[in-house]
Structure 1
């Protein structure tokens, strides 16, 4: 069963990674680079502060904790436990893949890019999605960043899928803690 699932994952990776075009390479490199998104993060923080004033501190801290938990679960817990090589480190795939960047770390399960971007998107959606339906576009952004990891040959599809789950789970946990804290703070004000 696991061998079959692994082979399906490899086959899907090879198919997706094989759908490259040279003009898309620099775009995918830009999308996959973490530093490319710093202006978006700064804009997001500025918007939260402008729109929510004092509440923004709780929202920003929740996002930071959610992203940090997702990153640490993916990088410091799951990758060392699974030891699944990235496709770009897999010798049997070297002639079949289209690597666009240096390969990076040895292990790829699960994708830290997917976990952190989905943690950010899910945190925003869970905290503010009812008020701002446009925040749903954060999931498309996270999916695009996650797909870029397959495009550059850094991750298999299951690495990305698992990272997505880790990100959404960490966001759900951190937003739950924020909601509990806010409820407790409001109850103490009434006393």
Structure 2
């Protein structure tokens, strides 16, 4: 069963990667990096301070940062335990695919997917009652994650698993915030 899933994963990756068009290489090579997204992170932070008292906003951002540390640590540990070779380093398929980046680390699961989906989901959970359009932020993790297939460094299962880990982690940390921090903030207002 696992062999069939991995075979499907390789075939899906080769197919999706082959859809790449040279004219879009610059776009996908840019989208796959963190720095171009810094204005989006600045928007996330400013929305917290616009919609919440300063103390609440700072504690939400602190929770977000702890979550990102947790997600990145979990991602790195999993990569070393599973030790799946990236497509760009896989000799069975690397001559069949387009490779725009050549990282040497392991593939499963995608840190781009886990980090971007966790950040976006946490932001959406916090701000959904204040801004109906907040779900548009999911364009970032979708583009960011898909870019990893385009540039030749992650299989679809790496992306899907990373996204799931990110979403579940965000839900967990949001609920911990609601359970442990929010009551403290409410009680400190009455003191």
- The bucket for the TM-score relative to the shorter chain is over 0.9
TM-score normalized with structure 2 length: 0.92
Matches of 2:43 and 2:184, distance apart in 1: 30
Name structure 1 gaps, 5 residues minimum: none
Q: How far apart are 1:39 and its partner, in Å?
A: 2.1
Q: Which residue of 1 aligns with 2:182?
A: 182
* Range that drifts further, 27-36 or 45-54: 45-54
Q: Which residue of 1 aligns with 2:57?
A: 56
Q: How far apart are 1:23 and its partner, in Å?
A: 1.0
TM-score normalized with structure 1 length: 0.92
Q: Which residue of 2 aligns with 1:37?
A: 37
Confirm or deny that 1:171 pairs with 2:157: no
Deviation readout 1:101-158 (Å, 9 max, x if unpaired): 2x11330100000000001110011112122121111222211110000100110000
SS in 1 for 2:113: helix
* Range that drifts further, 63-72 or 155-164: 63-72
Contact 2:51 2:130 in 1 (8 A): no
Q: How far apart are 1:14 and its partner, in Å?
A: 0.5
Matches of 1:90 and 1:157, distance apart in 2: 15
Q: Which residue of 2 aligns with 1:153?
A: 152
Deviation readout 1:68-94 (Å, 9 max, x if unpaired): 22111111x210110001100101112
Q: How far apart are 1:15 and its partner, in Å?
A: 0.6
Which aligned runs of 4 or more in structure 1 are off by greater than 6 angstroms? none
Matches of 2:45 and 2:104, distance apart in 1: 30
Matches of 2:108 and 2:10, distance apart in 1: 13
**Pair 35,189 (structure 1): closer, same or farther in 2 beyond 3 Å:** closer
* Number of positions where the alignment pairs a residue of Structure 1 with one of Structure 2: 189
Contact 1:68 1:116 in 2 (8 A): no
SS in 2 for 1:104: coil
Confirm or deny that 1:66 pairs with 2:67: yes
* Range that drifts further, 9-18 or 60-69: 60-69
Matches of 1:84 and 1:140, distance apart in 2: 27
Q: How far apart are 1:2 and its partner, in Å?
A: 0.5
Q: How far apart are 1:9 and its partner, in Å?
A: 0.3
**Pair 60,188 (structure 1): closer, same or farther in 2 beyond 3 Å:** closer
